[in-house]
Structure 1
Amino acid sequence: MSTSIHRYLSLGAGVQSSATLLLAARGDIPTFTAAVFADTAWEPTAVYQHLNRLERIATEAGIPIIRVSAGDIRADALDPAHRFASMPLFTLGPDGERGMARRQCTSEYKIKPIKAEIRRRLGYPHPRRVPAGVVADIAIGISLDEIGRARDADVGYMRNIFPLLDLGWRRSDCVAYLERHGLPGTPKSSCLGCPFHDDTFWAALKADSPAEWADAVAFDAAIRHGSARANADGHPLRGQFFLHRQRVPLDQVVLRPRSAAADVDVPGCGPWTCPHPGDTSTDTTDITVGTAPVREVA
């Protein structure tokens, strides 16, 4: 069978994937059949505004941006009738055990809908088997700063490619390129209530986006005793969930944002580049808090 190759961009709408899209739109790298954005329905407003900018540029270049979704992650997490895709929430056990819940949200709300769209576009939607030799190239916006996250695809119908690595670009190169071509202030893509946010993000959200801050505070309070479905089924969490690593209600956290001079970059959450505390923790131990498996984090 002849090989069928399509070329898609996994678009997280953060700095690196935005630069990759702009490179293609300007003809600096080969174009894409389409760019696929997995929408959790809970990105910060700034991300959606930036995505609208990208859509105008991409449309002019003949690159459609396809928005796919597995649902509204915030609403689903608080819906007693919906299965809970575990978020990497900080946990506090009944005896003071400190841990972190497993991360399933990236897989459920970003990777799975992108894979489903690629299969559909190849002509083999699930559960049809994709024949050998039918392959889509998937461009992922990983720069040299994150080269350790560059991995092969885990399915035969996708082949991961990394245009920024081919160019030898770092994140700073992407920022400069975006600014040079009229896209300054590209935000980091991640859910509004992601536990991986640092204090710099939370402080800026509190100061500049009070409605979104209030939304995150309300969600933090709502998930304190576990998932809505587990509670409805009579299985409350033996312990508590928190959005912030201090493990106190978000509106009571003493925020310590970095100074403007600090040269520290905290990545956003792209489908294949979501940060993971376990990558850097030197001591993790499996424990159980209620019905939710968590990792003790040093």
Structure 2
Amino acid sequence: MTEPTTRLLSLGAGVQSSACLLLAAQGRIPRFDAAVFSDTGWEPRAVYRHLHRLTGIARAAGIPVVRVAGGDIRSDALDPEHRFASMPLFTLGPNGERGMARRQCTSEYKIKPIKAEVRRRLGYPHPIRVPAGVRADVAIGISLDEIGRARDSDVRYMRHVFPLLDLRWRREDCVAFLAEHGLGDTPRSSCIGCPFHDDGFWADLKARSPGEWADAVAFDGAIRHGSARANAEGQPLRGRYYLHAQRVPLDQVVLRPRARRSPEDTPGCGPFTCPHPGEADQVPPEPTDARPTTAGRRVA
């Protein structure tokens, strides 16, 4: 197999990807040419503070942290003139039917911007075809306890690699490693208004960050009838939409946080590691380079 043209890290700024960046900065795994953070525009302030800290660590090691974006997910969802990239909102139909909307947000706001950056670095921006044999290795922060999320890339010009699997590290190893180097408060990376948050996240947000809690409550009310664009065009969606599985307004939810081993024992939402692979991701293929996604990688 030919050598990659470039080596990149998909930096979600959560525990595992932060550990990968620190390992590379210390020379314990091969150095990355860049770490790419795909910014939805709606991460908690704690994540942006941590990203700033990581940027300094990476810069000292000669690894640039690059921020890319596909828009601002919150404002885009409420903009009647913007196409709505569906979020996995909880739905309640006219006759009480319970369901979930499709999830397109991960593709639109995280994966697509990273792919565009990879193409740019390879010198073949879309729609130019990437020649066979030209590729980037993109490191994904998946640990041994999450091996089921490790999958090959769906395009030829990217190969996913998994440094933590090679090290046989589990999430707890990453947490201990970060704490040893003064990063024990690494937050979860995910949008403030992600419907996949558990009650522990919502309770923590309400207690510790009332401004961000109010922001989520306001968003929850604003998306009650779905897409702002569809409503503006006189095509309201059937039923009602909610951020919480109880399907009541967020500020009326009875929160029941489960016991946690630690504040970080639930994963965030990285570009290629969203914790709910069973939901329907709508990842548009790139016809010029696409190939079928293969089964998850195994560790012998």
Which residue number in structure 1 is paired with residue 17 of structure 2?
Answer: 17
For the aligned residues, what is the CA RMSD?
1.4
Q: Secondary structure at the match of 1:196?
A: coil
Structure 1 unaligned blocks of 5 or more: 280-298
Q: Give me the whole-angstrom Cα distance separating, in 2, the residues matched to 1:29 and 1:272.
A: 20
Question: Larger deviation: 4-13 or 43-52?
Answer: 4-13
Q: CA deviation at 1:195?
A: 0.2
The amino acid of 1:253's aligned partner reads V
Q: Which amino acid aligns with 2:152?
A: D
Secondary structure in 2 matching 1:190? coil
Deviation at 1:260, TM superposition (A): 5.0
Q: Identify if the C-alpha distance between structure 1 residues 4 and 141 changes in structure 2 by more than 3 Å, giving closer, same or farther.
A: closer
Partner of 1:296: none
Q: Give the counterpart letter for 2:47 in structure 1.
A: V
Amino acid at match of 1:86: S
- Quickly say closer, same or farther: Cα 1:207–1:177, change in 2 above 3 A: same
Q: 1:6 aligns to what?
A: 6
Taking the aligned partners of 2:171 and 2:253, their CA distance within structure 1 comes to 30
State how far apart, in whole Å, the 2-side matches of 1:138 and 1:119 are.
Answer: 12
Deviations 1:139-159 (A, max 9, x none): 000001110010111100001
User: 1:204 — aligned with what?
Assistant: 204
What amino acid does structure 2 have at the position aligned with 1:192? I
Matches within 5 A, 1:274-293: 274-276=274-276, 278=278
Take 1:145 and 1:70, find their aligned partners in 2: how far apart are those partners? 30
2:110 maps to 1:110: yes
- Determine the C-alpha separation between the residues in 1 that align with 2:10 and 2:277: 23
Residue of structure 1 equivalent to 2:214? 214
Give the partner amino acid of 2:22. L
Cα distance per residue 1:220-275 (max 9 Å; x no partner): 00000011001011111211000000000000000011235589932110001102
Identity %: 77
| Structural mapping, 1:265-276, within 5 Å | 265-276=265-276
Aligned to 2:167: 167
Distance (whole Å) between structure 2 residues aligned to residue 262 and residue 58 of structure 1? 27
1:36 aligns with 2:36: yes
Normalising to structure 1: TM-score of the pair? 0.91
Other structure's SS at 1:151 match: coil
Structure 2 residue runs of 5 or longer lacking an equivalent are: 280-300
TM-score for the superposition, normalised by structure 2: 0.90
String of CA shifts for 1:11-62, please: whole Å, max 9, x gaps.
Answer: 0000000000000001111100000000000000000000011000000000
Q: Distance in 2 between matches of 1:265 and 1:91?
A: 28
2-structure distance, mates of 1:259, 1:149:
24
Could you tell me whether the CA contact under 8 Å between 2:149 and 2:277 is conserved in 1? no
SS in 1 for 2:136: strand
2:24 & 2:273 partners in 1: Cα distance?
A: 20
Q: 1:189 is aligned with what amino acid?
A: S
How far apart, in 2, do the equivalents of 1:3 and 1:63 lie? 20
Deviates more, 1:3-12 or 1:77-86: 3-12
Aligned to 1:285: none
Q: Distance in 2 between matches of 1:187 and 1:115?
A: 25
Q: Distance in 2 between the 1:101 and 1:161 partners?
A: 31
CA distance in 2, matches of 1:26, 1:149: 26
Give the match for residue 254 of structure 1.
Answer: 254
- Paired position in structure 2 for 1:85: 85
Q: Secondary structure at the match of 1:200?
A: helix
CA distance in 1, matches of 2:110, 2:260: 31
The equivalent residue for 1:185 is: 185
Tell me the SS of whatever aligns to 1:134: coil
What is the match of residue 294 of structure 1?
A: none
- What secondary structure does 1:273 align onto? coil
The number of residues matched between the two structures is: 278
Q: Aligned partner of 1:153: which letter? A: S
Equivalent residue of 1:138, what SS? Answer: strand
